[in-house]
């Protein structure tokens, strides 16, 4: 199977690869997938004033999974939390030109985004409750 140029590019030069400290303020972490299934994605966002100012990923998986998460971090940066919710796996499929057998990689990336946002929200809500 031949990979699209964009998948190769993200795989060779991954964007925003790395980690934030999980307990850092404004950081939301999403970890999805399972080693038994051959892919695990960790996606992190750093939010300030409702805007995602930075994002990072680490992925265990095939080239398309790595590219999907790398692309997701690129797209997340600069978006508001609300805008980030609207990123769909089909957008990733289209951008990376993923073949049908690799669609699950994009689904996993969308799940990772949702999980990171939910984690951020939970932490933010918790902080608010504490403040009261």
26 binds another protein (CB under 8 A): no
Of 27, 65, 92, 109, the one binding another protein (CB under 8 A) is 65
Token representation of residue 114: 């949702």
CB nearer to another protein: give 26 or 63: 63
Whether residue 105 lies in the annotated active site: yes
CA distance 57 to 107: 15
77, exposed or middle or buried, with CB in 10 Å at 0-12, 13-18, 19+?
A: middle
**Cβ neighbours of 19 (radius 10 Å):** 12
* Rounded distance between C-alpha atoms, residue 126 and residue 132, angstroms: 10
**Least distance in angstroms from the C-beta of 128 to another protein:** 27
Query: Which one, 35 or 82, has the nearer CB to another protein?
Result: 35
List contacts with another protein (CB under 8 A).
3, 8, 11, 14, 17, 19, 31-42, 58-63, 65-66, 101, 104, 107-108, 111
**Which residues carry out catalysis?**
37, 105
């Amino acid at each position: 199977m031949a990979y699209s140029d964009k998948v190769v590019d993200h795989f060779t030069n991954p964007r925003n690869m790395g980690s934030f400290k999980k307990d850092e303020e404004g950081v939301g972490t999403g970890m999805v997938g399972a080693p038994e299934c051959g892919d695990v994605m960790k996606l992190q966002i750093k939010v300030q004033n409702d805007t995602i100012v930075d994002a990072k990923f680490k992925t265990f998986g095939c080239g398309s999974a790595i590219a999907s998460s790398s692309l997701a971090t690129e797209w997340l940066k600069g978006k508001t939390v609300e805008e980030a919710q609207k990123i769909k796996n089909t957008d990733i499929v289209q951008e990376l030109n993923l073949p049908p057998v690799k669609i699950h990689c994009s689904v996993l990336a969308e799940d990772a985004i949702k999980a990171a946002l939910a984690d951020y929200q939970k932490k933010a809500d918790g902080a608010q409750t504490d403040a009261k």
